[in-house]
Amino acid sequence: MGYLTIDSLTKKYGDLTAVKSINLKIKQGEMVALLGGSGCGKTTILRMIAGFIEPNAGTVSINGKVMNNIPAYKRNVGIFFQNYALFPHMTVIENVEFSLKLKKMKKAEIKEKVEYILGLVKLEGKGDSYPRQLSGGQQQRVALARALVMEPDVLLLDEPLSNLDSKLRQEMQVEIKRIQKKLKLTTIIVTHDQEEAVSLANRVVIMNEGEIEQIGEPGEVFNHPAHPFVAEFMGFSNFMEGKIVRKEGKEIQIEVAEGKVMNQSYDRADELAVGDAVVLTIRPEAVLISKTEEDGYAQGKIVNMTYKGHNTMVDILSSFNEKVQAINVDMVLPKEGESIYFAFPSDKVIIYKK
């Protein structure tokens, strides 16, 4: 039994089903990331948990209590909006104390709580500023403080870091994690950034077209994606379709094109059989490249190189006409159009049955 339980939750907009019968159980104090591209239904789920929209079917329950038909203002669910949604006519303190005043708390108690939370998000001394006088990062921390101060049963974060530059992003990632742990908040974070999801959450839920593709711990979804879709989302590339034509222990031979075969060693070869149609994938940074021919390496030609600062993206056209993408960190590379050798290490390759 989860603290926050989502049971066959469904939302339709006309003919479009935005959320298709989702089930999810979240433990108290757990941080779960909903990860997916735009339009995958992750924000719709968030809005249903907050109570802004009603589901067509299914339930949301918090601490065993079904929340359907309970209006948003009675749910005690804190939400952080992507655009912050600060009250422009109120100062930082007025924004933060809004929920406490509604609870008719004593003045001294309100002051104490507001001061504590502003300290927690490192906004001391900014209390009397208006949102428009603050920087983006400061506004964001006000929004976070405002959601935290109400001591919500569930905290929802909608793309909390999407509007920040990379340095501030790193800082806020650490901050959010620290505060969430300290207050032991049951948290759902919605994001389209897989790095953000795996670094913040205890569990990651990958969504596509209103459905859950995979739920797992960050390491699991990052290294063992359940489907090619999840793999692509988690940064895998070099997808190759083929058919297994031979298998001997861990050594398998895949026919990727008419008459073109690829030899590959695969640790989980037991799951596969000769004749299976498969999709093979590997991260570009896991592809090994060499200027000279080595054992187990295939030959190709460099078609394009993109310098990215700390690494170089190398596009290779293999001798069997497949495009291969590799990331090279420190090797001095041949020129474009010249020959190169590459290999897929057996522990880095994933082979899916089609």
Partner 1 sequence: MYEKKKINWLFKLITVIAFMIILAPMIVIVIVSFNATEIITFPPQGLSMKWYANIFAENSKFVDGFLNSVKLAIVATLFDIVIGVLASISVTKYSFKQKGLLISLFTSPMFIPSIAFGFVLLQMTASMRILTPFLKILIGHIIIILPYIIRNTLGILTSYDWTIDDAAASLGANPVKVFFKITLPIIKPAVLSGALLAFLYSFDEAVISSLLTSAKFTTLPVQIINYMEFRFDPTVAAISTILMAISLALMILMDKFIGLDALTKQ
Closest CA to 190 of 155, 224, 219: 155
Half-sphere exposure of 166 (CA within 13 A, CB side): 1
CA distance 89 to 119: 22
| Stretch 96-115 residues interacting with partner 1 (CB under 8 A) | 98-99, 102-103
For partner 1, give the closer residue by CB, 74 or 308.
74
Q: How far is the CB of 100 from partner 1 (least distance, A)?
A: 9
Count of residues binding partner 1 (CB under 8 A)? Answer: 26
Q: Does 79 interact with partner 1 (rule: CB under 8 A)?
A: yes
Q: Does 239 interact with partner 1 (rule: CB under 8 A)?
A: no
Beta bridge partners of 247: 252
Which string of DSSP letters, residue by residue, matches 55-106? -SEEEEEETTEE-TTS-GGGS-EEEE-TT----TTS-HHHHHHHHHHHTT--
Q: Would you say 113 and 149 are in contact if contact means Cβ atoms under 8 Å apart?
A: yes
Q: Does 185 interact with partner 1 (rule: CB under 8 A)?
A: no
Q: Does 52 interact with partner 1 (rule: CB under 8 A)?
A: yes
Q: How far is the CB of 50 from partner 1 (least distance, A)?
A: 6
Q: Does 42 interact with partner 1 (rule: CB under 8 A)?
A: no
The phi and psi torsions of 177 (rounded to 5 degrees) equal -60, -45
For partner 1, give the closer residue by CB, 35 or 143.
143
Q: Quick one: which of 6, 22, 32, 77 contacts partner 1 (CB under 8 A)?
A: 77
CA distance 323 to 342: 12
Q: How far is the CB of 73 from partner 1 (least distance, A)?
A: 5
For partner 1, give the closer residue by CB, 3 or 81.
81
Q: Does 78 interact with partner 1 (rule: CB under 8 A)?
A: yes
Query: Which range binds partner 1 by CB under 8 A, 65-73, 204-212, 236-244, 245-253?
Result: 65-73
DSSP three-state, residue 30: coil
Q: Would you say 121 and 179 are in contact if contact means Cβ atoms under 8 Å apart?
A: yes
For partner 1, give the closer residue by CB, 87 or 116.
87
Q: Which residues in this chain contact partner 1 in the complex, by CB under 8 A?
A: 50-52, 71-79, 81, 83, 85-89, 98-99, 102-103, 146-147, 150
